[in-house]
Structure 1
Amino acid sequence: MYGKSGTAELRRVSNMIAPRDVKRVLPSSQSREALKNSQTTEDFTIGQENPRFYQGYQLSMSDLKKATSASKQAAGCLFTNFEDVRLTDEERVYLNAAATGDIGIIRMSLEESEDNKDFNVNCVDFMGRNALHLAVDSENTEVMEMLLDKLNFECIEEALLHAISKAHPKLVRLIIEHPNYQAGEDQIKRMDSKNAFFRTTEKSQFSPDITPLILSAHYNNHEMVQMFLSRNHTIDKPHPISCQCNDCQVRQDYDSLKRSRSRLNAYRALASPSYMALSSPDPIMTTFELRQEMMKLAEIEKEFKKEYLTLVEQCMNFACEMMDLCRGTQEVEAVISDFLEDGTNIRDPLGRLRLAIQFEEKKFVAHPNCQQYLTTIWYGSETAFLQSWSLIRKIGLSIAATPLLPLLCLIYIMFPTSNLARSMRCPAAKFATHVVSHFSFLILLAAATFRLEENYDEMMDQEMAGIGDANSVREWVAKSFRPSKSIITHVQIYIVLWVAGLLLADVKHIYFAGFRSYIANSYNILNFCILSMYIGSYTLRIIVDRWVRESDLYFNATMQINYLLKNNDSQLVHKLVRNWTKSGPFDKSYFITASRFQWKYDDPEIVSDVLFAVANVVSFARTTYLMPAFEALGPLQISFTRMLTDITRFMVLYLLVLLAFMVGLHNLYWYYGLHTVKKNDTCGNTTKNVPATELFEGKWNALHLLMEFSTPPAS
């Protein structure tokens, strides 16, 4: 022991600190042997040296469950109660000296611990703190060096995590560079580190899956993260939540909450700005990937949705902060550009930006540095002067260049290296020509829609039965006889050429960007539907035109009518046309009849007109894709889209209430639908049988009857 004077001093100090450090003080009559026995049976001495510490990593799944259950049953509670920890007088003095930095007492305690088996250098106080943990709080490096030589790896690791949480890089470096810690760390690396998930230690303030690097990343400490990365520490990315591998199944069956918490801890470390900046060769790309993964997790694990969305916002802020560090155009270009996917060393100046748009990284795309770079590319070097022009001057230039657009396109195709071609190659000029082309297409659609030549008049048919001059007869024939030139007009030929050009543009888009990129945009899907309807419409028109020509040749109708009109024989013309147009459905005479009142409902030209009309409506509505290009209309479109979403939600609720009332009313009146009743006609002379439900038709009639029966008769 310490000797008489040393022992008395230790007891005096222990009596001073005992009421503050422990909840229950041992009576003086209790011997150290009894204390030793009680510690052995109750197993409350947490800091005791455990030779099976490293073997815990190698336990099987069933053994871990049995060991955990047995330890909890032996303790009599779910968690360790540090207030019931029993310490000897020497251990209390030893812990107090570690907290105050008394090197002399610590050295004396460590020297005597080799002879005194009752003294445990790994003991903890009522808060679960060991001596090295307390020394970290006091920031005494000499005391820490002395304790690192004697304490086991479990206590050293706990103190290391505590030093990281206190943001003491100097103390962290002192611990990780000590030989005892390095030896224990190497031994753990040689074992299966995955078994740390199954550790059920309650004496640590940190979760078993928390490693020093993960904790450093949680606190976003660049110095400590770099310290552990230089020692080849890594953070393993968790398996996807839908993973069905054996390891994930075992973890899920063992403790689902623990698995979710460990995944959240891992992503919290992976999303740390310091870790991404120091460990990833491409932090921007890492940010995008992590955001996508965590947004999916937020939708699946609703319980931790708030935490994951916070990490998503943290990643986005980190990407924007990296953009803030760019001081010039070259640095912004280095961030936004990316290599092409074909494996060549050619960089796409907007590759990373396209990826950001695909991932809906709105804050990154809207960053001022990114927008300024986009503006530079938008106008190009040849048309940079347009950036300083006013809106009125730009509109005037567009109006003046509209009639010359076909000529400009020919020059662009024939002389691709000319200055004019380079000016038209810039995005601003492409957008202007695209807008002009779109509105020209809409004008053609309007011209093809308002057709006035097909105006059949039945009264005129009766008047032309035997009278009328040649001009009147020709007009009547034009309205009664369907020539092929009325099916496909010159305007519609232009529309066909325009549709072919739009189809070629979509094919090029799919070829260069890929089918997935094409269908990712809703306007492309809408464009596909429009082109499909136009192609179907004009395919039917071409078929009808062929049938009309065959019918005309079969009757030799055009030549006979022209011959008779030349001889002023209007009566015979009228008779021939009337005979030709009176026929059965879909025979030779049917397709030369101009009156749509005599057509079948499924006539190919009617079906073609239906497709053409629907395509026209969608084409005009598709103009909304130009609205985001204008500052005043873009936000309005976004607000309108969100309003439609709210209206849809309201309609779902409204239809649910309507369905409920429908079911209730059907339950009341179902009987009357199976019977008929007699009802007098308006004159009251005859009666007829009508369904009983007819009496309940009409909301206003029902309300009127209700008011009539409820009104008392007049006196």
Structure 2
Amino acid sequence: MDHRYIPNNRHRESVSSSSSRTYYNKTFEDTTDLFLFACAHGDYMLVHRLLIDDEVEADVSNKMVKSALQLAIENEHFEVVKVILDKIPYEKFRDALLLAIYLGHTNIADFIMNHPTYRTHSGGFLDPTHPQAYDDSQFSSDITPLILAAQYNRLQIVHQLLSKGEPQVRLSAYKGLSSEVYIALTYPDPILQAFELSHELRTLAKVEHYFHEDYEKIANQLSIFVTRLLDNVRGHEELEIVLNKTGRPNEEKYENLARFDLAILYQEKAFVSHSNCQQKLMEKWYENLSAIKNAHLTKRLLFYLAFIICLPFLLLAYYFFPKSKIGSLCHQPNLKLKAYIVSYLAFISLIIASSYFSISHLQKTKYLSDYDSEIYNYYIKHIYENIQLRNDLISLNENEHDSNNDNDTDSLINCNISLRFMEPNPFQIAIFIWVIGFVWQEIKQIFGSGIRVYLTSHSNYVDCLMNILYILYFIFLYSTMVLTRTSMNTFHSSVYWDAIARYNETSDSEKEHLLTKTYHILYWINADRYYWNSGDSQNLAEAFFAMGNVASICRICFLLPIIGFVGPLQ
């Protein structure tokens, strides 16, 4: 049967004046009544036409205060529900979803939860404690979709709500869990619980943007709660226990400033900057150096200068006698930071000196004639003056580089050859020692704090990147030197020169072997970069060295804002 409405033919003249319409042999004097009747009976086309023509509002109700959407849901008219949902405000979604759950219309409930409007608001509704919350709702203000679905065993809907997460229910739960009284009376370690809960709330605030301010507010309240607990600490012994507590809440396990480290990890600035924490931190900072703490600035500078001068000897003493007084002095936090800064500045100085030395060292490049006159004479006689060998090398170069430029190979066998460096300079050796120390330090940190804690610090990523780049630099640098040294050792071999002297009389297979070997030698001893391959290991080494230098300078970015994490140290 056609459900479309038609004008009353018997009263055609009065249609325009009274707007009466006939539908299912029933006359409607009001368009709203017609619209509600169509929603209740599932006439999708009529509902759609009335809404498109703006003849009626979607959010209308009958005399029983039942809205058009409620009528469509009660009669399970899915297509009508889809049309009306696009026309109503988000505030009406709650009742629609609850009604669909109550009646067990899973397909309608699923569509509402996946509707773009519902997903935009992340399924959040008014706080039930709000004085005007859901005054006209047929459901109690404390009823949520998850509670109702669980109450009526709507398993599919419960599963979907849990998989998507119902933000308002979760927010209400966190409000209860974050109660200061509840935490203080329930948990044996309220500070640890507050830290973990605050960290979890701040993580949720980044994910659920609709409730971002609510989660941040609760997290800040927890931070204030922890500082109030610190205000009640009496005496140094209690403060020592609070700041050194670690492990599980029921474990009596203590480590030096373990709770303080945890506060830095969770970025609890209120806890870190608390006067009690700062006082304890100051005591640790000048531990075993009480005379320096109140000394004049000049005396302190002289002491630190003497420490820096004696630092290499102190480190050696610490290495062999770690438990001695000198060893404990190297463990002192204040001096340890000074030693770290000095080491870092020394490393930066080595990088600058190495770069400058490399530039000046290039001007002192040795030539084959200066390196060994005997080998040079062999080279001139058996390679440079051998026309057939030179032509074969040119052909091999064209095959290797796909080039017709004969000058590339001529340069390899010209009257003299500039030599690559075959051993590292002192600055490269010193940088290598420093890098080994950096790598060992990172390994100790990983095993000491654990890989998870290690990965939470952004500075560790920069340190790892720097170490990897420098390791790659030394791998390519030393491999180049090894190849150069190996090629030069071949030049020192009398067997090689005897074979080259008979090059024109040898078989084709032996010629090919000698030709490849000679080309390899000439390439790896030649220091003229113009004739190197773009992927030459020396070029790669210097590229990694440059990137490593940038990464090492970037470490300063993590040292400068340290005051923002550990407090003012008043």
Of 520, 529, 532, which residue of structure 2 is paired with 1:596? 529
1:555 and 2:463 aligned = no
Alpha-carbon distance, 1:332 to partner: 1.8
CA deviation vs aligned residue, 1:256-302 (integer Å, no higher than 9, x gap): 99x54443333222222222222222211221222133223333443
Q: State how 1:45-56 maps to structure 2 within 5 Å.
A: none
Matched with 1:271 is 178
CA deviation vs aligned residue, 1:402-455 (integer Å, no higher than 9, x gap): 232111011112223322222221211211111111111111111211121213
Is the CA contact (8 Å cut-off) linking 1:484 and 1:545 kept in structure 2?
Answer: yes
Distance 1:404 1:418 in 2: 16
1:391–1:606 distance in 2 versus 1, CA, 3 Å: farther
1:250 and 2:158 aligned = yes
1:455 and 2:363 aligned = yes
Alpha-carbon distance, 1:375 to partner: 1.6
Is the CA contact (8 Å cut-off) linking 1:294 and 1:309 kept in structure 2?
Answer: yes
Give TM-score, length-normalised by structure 2.
0.56
Of 440, 450, 465, which residue of structure 2 is paired with 1:504? 440
1:207 and 2:115 aligned = no
SS in structure 2 at match of 1:607: helix
Q: State how 1:385-396 maps to structure 2 within 5 Å.
A: 385-389=291-295, 392-396=298-302
Distance 2:519 2:467 in 1: 28
Which one has more relative contact order, counting CA pairs under 8 Å at least 6 apart?
2
Alpha-carbon distance, 1:394 to partner: 3.5
Distance 2:156 2:337 in 1: 51
1:525–1:306 distance in 2 versus 1, CA, 3 Å: closer
Of 288, 292, 305, which residue of structure 1 is paired with 2:212? 305
Matched with 1:317 is 224
Distance 1:551 1:292 in 2: 60
Distance 1:253 1:552 in 2: 74
1:608 and 2:541 aligned = yes
Distance 2:444 2:292 in 1: 29
Matched with 1:482 is 419
Q: State how 1:350-369 maps to structure 2 within 5 Å.
A: 350-369=257-276
Is the CA contact (8 Å cut-off) linking 1:456 and 1:595 kept in structure 2?
Answer: no
1:410–1:600 distance in 2 versus 1, CA, 3 Å: same
1:375 and 2:282 aligned = yes
Gapped regions of structure 1 (runs ≥ 5): 1-41, 43-60, 68-161, 163-198, 210-237, 240-244, 462-476, 559-581, 636-715
Distance 1:437 1:262 in 2: 53
Matched with 2:192 is 285
Q: State how 1:464-483 maps to structure 2 within 5 Å.
A: 480-482=417-419
Of 305, 308, 311, which residue of structure 2 is paired with 1:405? 311
CA deviation vs aligned residue, 1:636-659 (integer Å, no higher than 9, x gap): xxxxxxxxxxxxxxxxxxxxxxxx
Distance 1:499 1:437 in 2: 11
Is the CA contact (8 Å cut-off) linking 1:445 and 1:616 kept in structure 2?
Answer: yes
Distance 1:444 1:480 in 2: 31
Distance 2:536 2:101 in 1: 78
Matched with 1:670 is none
Of 532, 537, 554, which residue of structure 1 is paired with 2:473? 537
Distance 1:260 1:483 in 2: 67
Is the CA contact (8 Å cut-off) linking 1:627 and 1:634 kept in structure 2?
Answer: no
2:216 maps to a residue whose letter is L
Distance 1:64 1:442 in 2: 67
1:409–1:343 distance in 2 versus 1, CA, 3 Å: farther
Alpha-carbon distance, 1:351 to partner: 2.0
1:585–1:313 distance in 2 versus 1, CA, 3 Å: farther
Q: State how 1:154-303 maps to structure 2 within 5 Å.
A: 202=140, 207=142, 249-250=157-158, 260-303=167-210
Superposed CA RMSD: 4.2
1:343–1:513 distance in 2 versus 1, CA, 3 Å: farther
Is the CA contact (8 Å cut-off) linking 2:188 and 2:250 kept in structure 1?
Answer: no
Is the CA contact (8 Å cut-off) linking 2:421 and 2:481 kept in structure 1?
Answer: yes
Alpha-carbon distance, 1:509 to partner: 0.9
Alpha-carbon distance, 1:373 to partner: 1.2
Distance 1:372 1:503 in 2: 34
1:519 and 2:418 aligned = no
1:428 maps to a residue whose letter is N
2:458 maps to a residue whose letter is S
Alpha-carbon distance, 1:318 to partner: 0.7
SS in structure 1 at match of 2:362: coil
Q: State how 1:438-449 maps to structure 2 within 5 Å.
A: 438-449=344-355
Distance 2:530 2:100 in 1: 87
Alpha-carbon distance, 1:500 to partner: 1.0
1:492–1:377 distance in 2 versus 1, CA, 3 Å: same
Matched with 1:437 is 343
Matched with 1:65 is 102
Alpha-carbon distance, 1:362 to partner: 1.6
Alpha-carbon distance, 1:606 to partner: 1.5
Of 238, 242, 245, which residue of structure 2 is paired with 1:331? 238
* Aligned length, in residue pairs: 367
SS in structure 2 at match of 1:601: coil
Is the CA contact (8 Å cut-off) linking 1:499 and 1:531 kept in structure 2?
Answer: yes
CA deviation vs aligned residue, 1:484-513 (integer Å, no higher than 9, x gap): 44x411221121111111111111111121
Is the CA contact (8 Å cut-off) linking 1:200 and 1:208 kept in structure 2?
Answer: no
Distance 2:471 2:156 in 1: 52
1:401 maps to a residue whose letter is F
Distance 1:393 1:629 in 2: 26
CA deviation vs aligned residue, 1:60-110 (integer Å, no higher than 9, x gap): x9998259xxxxxxxxxxxxxxxxxxxxxxxxxxxxxxxxxxxxxxxxxxx
1:445 maps to a residue whose letter is I
Distance 2:327 2:470 in 1: 32
1:443 maps to a residue whose letter is S
1:535–1:342 distance in 2 versus 1, CA, 3 Å: farther
Alpha-carbon distance, 1:557 to partner: 9.5
